[in-house]
Amino acid sequence: MRASCTPLRVAVDARNVAGDRRGLGRYVRALLRRFVSCDELQLTLVLERRLARFQKNALAKVLGSSRFSVARHVPLECDVVWHPWNGIFLHGGSAHVCTIADVAPFRFPADNAIRRTHEQAPFTAATARATRILTFSHASKSDLTSLLNVPLELIEVTYLGVDDSLGSRALPPPKEVDDRPYFFFIGDPAEPRKNFELLYRAFRRAWPSGDGPKLAVLSEHDPDLPGVVHLKSDSEDLQGKENARLRALYNAALATVVPSLYEGFGMPVIESMACGTPVIAARASSLPEIAGQAALLEDPHDKVAWSRALQRVATDAALRKTLRELGLQNSRRFRWESCATQTQAVFAEAAAVSIP
């Protein structure tokens, strides 16, 4: 039995810590950067690959500290294992905390049976094995209960936070964006649930002659469409640097647009608000919960409504000012310190449950 005064020994599935550019990767790095400085935790980052121990310097650069161990397998003397990648992929350990950001493979199941099973299997296996489950919104918590039959008492909602390097003090836009106003979209345009097709049709309807703002898309994939500026995803967060480019892109935008049919949280909503930039978001899944009254919320299936919303924000400076003020206030609800504290408490609870 672990003495109450000794650090909690936490093993972490670290497979994607140094490579995941998505919001999930940023979440894991944000928490680990706080956990490495916590005296109450003793971290082991698990990389199931040969010569895992030689990855420590690279991980230390990403996390800004070397105050952790690296192992190829979950240590035998471990109080709890954290699985942050929407599934449990490591063997070993008796207490398991699993992060499930959303249940998109169940809300939007693949038509092909083999692919559907492949995408859903990690979720069903994880929910059957996990001691506790972390998710990012009450909307996702409801989905876990209704779609995967997870008992409510096993699920903890931990809202995400805003990186300290993001803020409302204006920065000049990056050189890749010229002086023309633009709306800002983050995500893969080819992913159906991101609903980029509707957004683009609404955008073209608003300015059919192409004389309006641009639509800037931050993604690895180039939509290659008229009026769209492709901005390739950056690696500042992966390198442990401040998010200067991302902040500048938020700051200079007319608004950030989040037309998604489904999101477990919607990180661009609160990041944009923290940067003082208005948000237009879909009235769907977790987005109203996260945006509160601080965004324009539109039907994700209504092209006309989205077209009008884009035009309103582009032409109404008073509306932009109101949304800016409401957004800044709303963004203060979301802090990584709170997320880390809640998560650490769940680790301790899971470890206590596993003690015979």
SS3 content of the chain, % helix, strand, coil (to 5): 40, 15, 45
Q: Which residues contact 173 (CB under 8 A, 6 or more apart)?
A: 248, 249, 251, 252
**pLDDT value of residue 240:** 67
Residue 154's SS3 state is: helix
Q: How far is CA 232 from CA 20, 21, 228, in A?
A: 15, 11, 13
For the chain, which residues score pLDDT lower than 50?
1
* Secondary element (H or E) of residue 272: helix 267-274
**Cα–Cα distance, 289 to 102 (Å, whole number):** 14
Q: How far is CA 324 from CA 24, 159, 293, 332, in A?
A: 26, 21, 12, 13
* Secondary element (H or E) of residue 205: helix 196-206
**Cα–Cα distance, 327 to 238 (Å, whole number):** 27
Domains (range + CATH), the chain: 8-161+336-354 (3.40.50.2000), 182-331 (3.40.50.2000)
**pLDDT value of residue 207:** 97
Residue 67's SS3 state is: coil
Does the pTM exceed 0.85? yes
* Secondary element (H or E) of residue 13: strand 8-13
- Identity of residue 155: I
CB burial of residue 318 (10 Å; 0-12, 13-18, 19+): exposed
**pLDDT value of residue 1:** 45
Sheet holding 8-13, edge to edge: 69-71, 41-46, 8-13, 80-83, 96-99, 132-135, 155-157
